[in-house]
Structure 1
């Protein structure tokens, strides 16, 4: 996060907000399962396997869908070259439009499958040397770096950019609040909003300065 310029940091925060929005909608739509937080789904998978294996199907399918999204996003990212960000976001936006359509048609499996695919693909947006450099759908790493930065600040060491990690976490949290609000009050419209927002982010991605 801190190795990027201000415009890319803001872009990352905007995308993390979208991830929080979608995950909140998914969480409320899938009986407490996640469409972006696979650590939580992995724990639920383990608990189900240890107590009630029949219930393991849901977290297993969500994890598989997320993995498929990461894989598809990585392949598209490699093929797109310098246009990686808009190409990956185009896949995310298309998946979110499919999710919104699935909800409108009363097909919850299509909705959740497309949502989890979108969230997996989204993590390919920021890469360095072929590796994910900013996780947009999970915040454990960001909170660890935030805590380390706060420790450095308390100890009088140089600023390590903890504010950027705090804003990234805050972006996801803000998106989750809005997603939960709209899922409660506008359930048939919230995924269309997320898809439209992602489409707008494609245009923003094209306008980012060229990477050095």
Structure 2
């Protein structure tokens, strides 16, 4: 995070918020499965294979959709060198828009599949040489870096490289709370809020990349 300018840091925080919101809505809709947290889905898959094989297809579908989104997003940023964040987030917003329509129509599995694909693609927003530099939908690495930063501070060492990761986790948590609240107010309309936020992030990415020109 510390390597990026303030505009990109805000974009990363916004994407983490979006991921938390989308994941919380998906978690409720799917009854305990995730649209962005594939470690959790992998654990659920292992448990379901033993305890309830009839529903083991759902984590498989979500993992496959997420992986497909990662692949598609990586291909996009590999092709579009200029304003690749804008192009990528336009696609993410479009997919979330389709997911919102599916949710409004009561097509829950379609919504979950599209939401997982969008979250997979979004992880390509911050990458360098084909490697993700900031994971915006999963926070284990961010928490590890945050913990290392705390340890460094307690030891009297510099913590510059660890800055921002606590905020990234907090953004995801805030997004999750927002998603749960929105779903309680409007189960079919909550996914539309994810689409709106994705559009705003797309505009933010455009401004950031325009300033680079």
TM bracket (short chain): over 0.9
Hey, what's the Cα distance between the residues in 1 that align with 2:160 and 2:47?
A: 38
- Give the number of aligned pairs: 211
Residue deviations 1:99-153, cap 9 Å, x none? 1100111211211111111110000100111211100000000000000000000
TM-score by length of 2: 0.95
Q: Name structure 1 gaps, 5 residues minimum.
A: none
Aligned equivalent of 2:133: 133
- The answer on 1:156 being equivalent to 2:119 is no
SS of alignment partner, residue 24 of structure 1: helix
Q: Does 1:72 align with 2:75?
A: no
1:22/1:194 contact within 8 Å kept: yes
After TM superposition, the structure 1 stretch with the greater mean CA deviation from structure 2, 110-119 or 159-168, is 159-168
Asked whether the 8 Å contact 1:12–1:168 carries over to 2, the reply is yes
- 1:1-212 matches, within 5 Å, as 1-208=1-208, 209-210=211-212
**What CA deviation, in whole Å up to 9, does each residue of 1:53-106 have, x standing for no partner?**
222111111100100111111111111112210111111101111111001112
| Structure 1 Cα separation of the partners of residues 24 and 6 of structure 2 | 27
> What is the TM-score of this pair, normalised by structure 1?
0.96
C-alpha separation between the residues in 2 aligned to 1:163 and 1:79?
A: 31
Q: Return the alpha-carbon distance in structure 2 between the equivalents of residues 106 and 54 of structure 1.
A: 22
34-43 or 87-96: bigger deviation = 87-96
- CA RMSD in angstroms comes to 1.3
Gaps of 5+ in 2: none
